[in-house]
Amino acid sequence: MENVTLTINGQKVSAPAGSTVLKAARQAGIDIPTLCNHPALAPVGICRMCLVEVKGMPTFQPACTFLVNEGMEIQTESPPLVEARKFVLDMLFSERNHFCMYCEMSGDCELQSLGYRYGIDHWIYPTYTKRFPIDSSHKQLEMEHNRCVLCWRCVRSCAELTANHTLDLRKRGIDSMIHADSHVPFGESSCISCGGCAQICPTGAIFGKRSAFMGRGKQAEHVKSTCSRCSLGCGVEIYIRGGNVLRLEGDWDGPVNGGRLCQKGRFDPLNETRPRVTQPLLRRNGKMAPASWDEALQSVAAHLGNISAAEIGVLTSSGLTNEALYLLGKLFRQELRAANVGLGNKTAPKLMDKPRGTLADIATGDVILVVGADPVKDQPVASFLIKRAVDKGARLIVVDGPENGLAPFAHQRLEMDQIGNALEFAERAEHPVALYGAGLSQKAGEALKKLPAKAAVLPLEPGANTRAAAAFGFNNGFKPAAKFLFLLPGEENWDGREDLKKAGEKAFTVVQASFESSLTAKADVVLPMAIWSEREGTLTNTEGRVQKANPAVKPPAETKPDWEILSLLAHRLGKKLGASLDEVSARAAQELK
């Protein structure tokens, strides 16, 4: 795309043709104030805060929607513009109750910041003239209509980013209000609790209940990391203050999610109620008792030293890091020769050596096949991407049962034995995309292999770090009939697993876990593991993208990261598999290539 040259505040600026004035200015480091605008949303020019003077134009123009032209001359802070912005702010402050002292967002509010910037220290027009309701019906979110500036950012986020279309505007003029569905309580609406509306709201109109009044964003430390709640690996920002996690927000620079998060990634990690395992436990005289790490590891090593490879069983969660899965495979599969090693969740069948598609392909797909996968349940952010593509005209073909969460949005739903009909759609499309999961039948898998080269084909793995677990050999099945069981539920809850209920009664059982459960209660040794916010390492998403998980808070004194526990055990057994995280990460990365 060709560049054009323009002048902003006397400064020569070069920008791609078709850019907006706002984008051109920001690329040049020139700040133009905004309120309704957000980089992740399409510009709409509602708030009029970004008005600029364009030489030759009779009126001010919104910088967020006005396109640049060759030779254009622009002023962004002239006295008439400043007066216009003050007028807009005076009107906004007069329309609702913006008494900052009692607002959750005071200190983080974009409207408040603009008020300070332009010296708004009193109300020009009457305010507090109308009382608006507060909707507290939602479990996670509060909707405070008195703080709303009608910027539509929440509505646009719900439509453009999540494609859920729960929020909209009702009534007119000063009575205008954001509402959910057909004006039902927020908590009874079709809201899927992704929290995107709260993250993108510029004021205190929608905010998370859990983190309310616990600290401003400027007072918190921000740590970028990777979500491990499913196999997508969405980018997250962890807000920490005083050693506590305040909230989770989507990383706008996240290559997978572009700022989107789902309930699993935003709220569920912070609403955990299970008691933590905070120290090693060892069964003594029939009862579990606290032990030192040295005692616990020695007990495990002693039992492993007196048992054959055929009598060992290992079952792991896919929530572990690449480093932990690498060490687990090296220690038990290669060093101890154990063959009975498995994964706690199913895997999507391997149809080709390397996937020939990415999640980004969904946006450009004109026909999207979803076969044997339910991303609404298992990978919610992927379902947002799919529904957004449908909004833009893509045809969705779901090959699965009627209970599939995407079935209501599908152009057609087919049973697995009707896969041939789905392939006909894909072959006629210009940019077909096929997403498949662990529910893919063998016949359907063989059919997908015949898709033309133009088709982007990608597995949607169940679990979290499933692709890495499979690469390290943990997808060959697991039989609980063993004399020595090494179970790694990590943060998962395996209390409902029938195959493990009786297995531990006859076997010496070691459980590496973060939370108390029926497994830890019946174990012989319990090794306490750090959780998602306390560990460092890497995760491989369903595309094969390796991403960093960073620690945000310190783990309880006696808990250790997943990889370190296995490294210590290997050392106790005389196996040198890597003593530092960097060393283990490098070895794991080499095997994942």
Record the tokens describing residue 6, joined without a space.
């323009």
Task: Let me know if residue 102 belongs to a domain.
Answer: no
Task: Let me know if residue 478 belongs to a domain.
Answer: yes
Which residues in 544-557 are b (16+ Cβ under 10 Å) and which e?
bbbbebebbbebee
Query: How large is the angle between the packed helices 110-117 and 79-95, nearest 10 degrees?
Result: 140
Q: Which helix (H) or strand (E) holds 88?
A: helix 79-95
- Measure Cα distances from 47 to 10, 51, 88, 111, 506 in Å: 26, 9, 8, 11, 69
Residue where a domain terminates, one of 246, 271, 296? 271
Containing structural domain, residue 132: 125-271
Q: What is the pTM of this model?
A: 0.95
144 and 189 co-located in one domain: yes
450 and 392 co-located in one domain: yes
User: Domain containing 567 — which CATH number?
Assistant: 3.40.50.740
Contacting residues for 360 by C-beta, under 8 A, at least 6 apart: none
The DSSP line for 91-118 is HHHHHS---GGG-TTTTT-HHHHHHHHT
Task: Let me know if residue 187 belongs to a domain.
Answer: yes
Task: Let me know if residue 496 belongs to a domain.
Answer: yes
User: Domain containing 382 — which CATH number?
Assistant: 3.40.228.10
CB 530 within 8 A of CB 561: yes
Residue where a domain terminates, one of 46, 77, 108? 77
Report how far residue 447's alpha carbon sits from residue 424's, in angstroms, rounded to the nearest whole number.
11
Residues of the chain with pLDDT under 70: 1, 504
Nearest to 23 by CA among 54, 53, 64: 64
The DSSP symbol for 416 reads: G
340 and 368 co-located in one domain: no
Give the per-residue pLDDT at 129.
72
16 and 135 co-located in one domain: no
Query: How large is the angle between the packed helices 562-572 and 293-304, nearest 10 degrees?
Result: 60
Residue 156 CA, distance from chain mean position: 19
- Measure Cα distances from 3 to 7, 9, 18, 32, 65 in Å: 13, 19, 9, 21, 18
262 and 134 co-located in one domain: yes
343 and 479 co-located in one domain: yes
Task: Let me know if residue 101 belongs to a domain.
Answer: no
257 and 315 co-located in one domain: no
131 and 253 co-located in one domain: yes
Residue where a domain terminates, one of 460, 489, 522? 460
Give the per-residue pLDDT at 477.
82
449 and 561 co-located in one domain: no
480 and 526 co-located in one domain: yes
Task: Let me know if residue 83 belongs to a domain.
Answer: no
Give the per-residue pLDDT at 356.
84
User: Domain containing 179 — which CATH number?
Assistant: 3.30.70.20
Task: Let me know if residue 416 belongs to a domain.
Answer: yes
Report how far residue 471's alpha carbon sits from residue 538's, in angstroms, rounded to the nearest whole number.
14
155 and 257 co-located in one domain: yes
Residue 141 CA, distance from chain mean position: 18
Nearest to 184 by CA among 207, 160, 171, 167: 167
Name the β-bridge partners of 222: 239
Give the per-residue pLDDT at 101.
86
Task: Let me know if residue 118 belongs to a domain.
Answer: no
User: Domain containing 72 — which CATH number?
Assistant: 3.10.20.740
What's the structural domain count of the chain? 4
134 phi, psi to nearest 5 deg: -115, 130
134 and 14 co-located in one domain: no
Report how far residue 66's alpha carbon sits from residue 71's, in angstroms, rounded to the nearest whole number.
14
Give the per-residue pLDDT at 1.
67
